Structure 1
Amino acid sequence: MTEIRHQPVAPTRTQWLAAGSDIDPHRHEDHQIVYAARGVLAVTTGAGTWIAPANRAIWIPAGTVHAHRAHGTLELRLLGLPPAENPLGLDAPAVLTVNPLLRELIRACTDTPDDGGPERRRLRAVLLDQLAASPQQPVQLPAPTDTRLARICDILRADPADRRTLDALSREAGASARTLSRLFASELGMTFPQWRTQLRLYEALVLLAEDTPVTTVAHRCGWASASAFIDVFRRAYGHTPGRHR
């Protein structure tokens, strides 16, 4: 078994990662906010993958084993918080909306080292208030444990444009569509169409970070038209794929 790297103090800094780069699985005794000011960040834990474009941040609770992956050139902003500072009251990872004020607070806190002075303390206090008020977003791709369900998820990860119904896919999993539907609800907390849409949105973010044209992204991720893709993307992230790029 690979040993998990233990880094007791979660760093506060800015770090650049090349497209496709990884940070190996590790854990902190601190909480951590991770924010991609440029590029798309994927954080993976045993429970699944959380995806964060530039208007989202990821909350990683203390003790959570996690790994990072960069899609596109990534300007990664890391902000560590002591275990006693949990403005969200969360013990599981979450994706948070980053409004303009919170974005600038994260930038300010990660641009310069913490000198422990009164200005820095006031800055962190405002940041904690903003975090507490930040809405959570359902931008997670849960990981299945049931082997039959994992087979379906692997097929769709390999080809997000696969438009087969769950009934058609069930033949490759050795389970009925009804059984698989129950597993999607019990293990992943969503329906099959919801999970497939989340997967397609994740793949779309990755392709957009690689400067793939919007129409190409739409077809490679399984949407019938670019306009249908743009509509789903806007409802999920609050802006169009063109503006996102």
Structure 2
Amino acid sequence: MRQFVEKEQLFRPIEAITDERQANSVGVAHSHEWCQLQYATHGVINVKAGNYSFIIPPQRAVWIPTGVVHQVNNTAPASYRSFHIESKLGDKIGSDVKVIQVSPFLRELIHRGCDAWQGKYHMSDINSALMTLLIEEIHQAPISPLHLSWPTDPRLKRVCELLHDNPGDNRNLSELAQYSGASVRTLNRLFAKECQLNFTEWRQKLRILTALELLQNNRSITDIALELGYESSSAFITVFKKHLNSSPKAYIRNLTTV
């Protein structure tokens, strides 16, 4: 694993990072005094930021405001692209962590910026204009629901970590309550308060986000469905379509043609 070296300052309003990440790469949790946009041109990255966990395919990017602790991991190879953006530019985009949808135009701006904004580049008129367009496109991009709230209460966190490590675990909330040390009523209240979802919705979203990673590895739909705790591939496909408006096969086909 490469050694992580934190920057001490930005030399330009926006600085680009490009990286080809090997399978099973684990990043270092860190924060900095500027904002960041994280994106994968190929593959899927897993971004943990604040109290959220995000699975980011090439049609999405994650916005990280100033000071938010974050970490980037990936299970399969990924082409990683990122912008470090000074706070006064990032203020327009907002102070909340969010996943945005990447339009074809925004994708081209990301590619252009990653080519042009490496090191202490020249601040030309065209670079200034491209930066203005980039910030405006990020600001106006639709927000995607591809995220999972992560709890802070140790009892609920114990349950969520158990399910995260084994999303195919089909135990009901009563059984998991015994493991957590909290009552079913307390866990229901904590899910609503800390995750803004009920237990069933949270586990369903966890499984869909996990599926996005598994779909990269040429696994069959049936194998993925069974690993995630579904009784059949048709049940998995139904839930997948509900969340992403696409079948798993169509989704991964679009993923490889981005």
TM-score (norm: length of structure 1): 0.89
Query: Which secondary structure does the structure 1 equivalent of 2:89 belong to?
Result: coil
Judge which range, 16-25 or 46-55, deviates more: 46-55
1:147 corresponds in structure 2 to 154
CA distance in 1, matches of 2:21, 2:60: 18
CA distance in 1, matches of 2:234, 2:113: 39
- Residue of 25, 29, 32 corresponding to 2:33: 29
Question: Is the contact made by 1:58 and 1:94 (CA closer than 8 Å) also made in structure 2?
Answer: yes
2:213 corresponds in structure 1 to 206
The offset of 1:11, in angstroms, is 4.1
CA distance in 1, matches of 2:184, 2:79: 42
The offset of 1:202, in angstroms, is 2.0
CA distance in 1, matches of 2:230, 2:102: 27
Larger fraction in strand: 1
The ranges of structure 1 where at least 4 consecutive aligned residues each deviate by more than 6 angstroms after the TM superposition are none
1:60 corresponds in structure 2 to 64
2:138 corresponds to 1:131: yes
CA distance in 2, matches of 1:11, 1:27: 16
2:256 corresponds in structure 1 to none
CA distance in 2, matches of 1:234, 1:112: 38
Judge which range, 161-170 or 184-193, deviates more: 161-170
Which amino acid counterpart does residue 106 of structure 1 have in structure 2?
Answer: I
Percentage identity across aligned positions?
A: 34
- Residue ranges of structure 2 left out of the alignment (5+ in a row): 253-258
CA distance in 1, matches of 2:250, 2:65: 31
The offset of 1:134, in angstroms, is 0.8
**Considering only aligned residues, what root-mean-square deviation do their CA atoms show, in Å?**
2.1
Query: Which secondary structure does the structure 2 equivalent of 1:34 belong to?
Result: strand
CA distance in 1, matches of 2:234, 2:104: 28
Any idea what the Cα deviations from partners look like across 1:215-243, whole Å, max 9, x if unmatched?
21111112232233223323433433223
The structure showing larger relative contact order (alpha-carbon pairs under 8 Å, at least 6 residues apart) is: 2
Which amino acid counterpart does residue 110 of structure 2 have in structure 1?
Answer: I
Which amino acid counterpart does residue 44 of structure 1 have in structure 2?
Answer: K
Query: Which secondary structure does the structure 1 equivalent of 2:29 belong to?
Result: strand
CA distance in 2, matches of 1:108, 1:89: 20
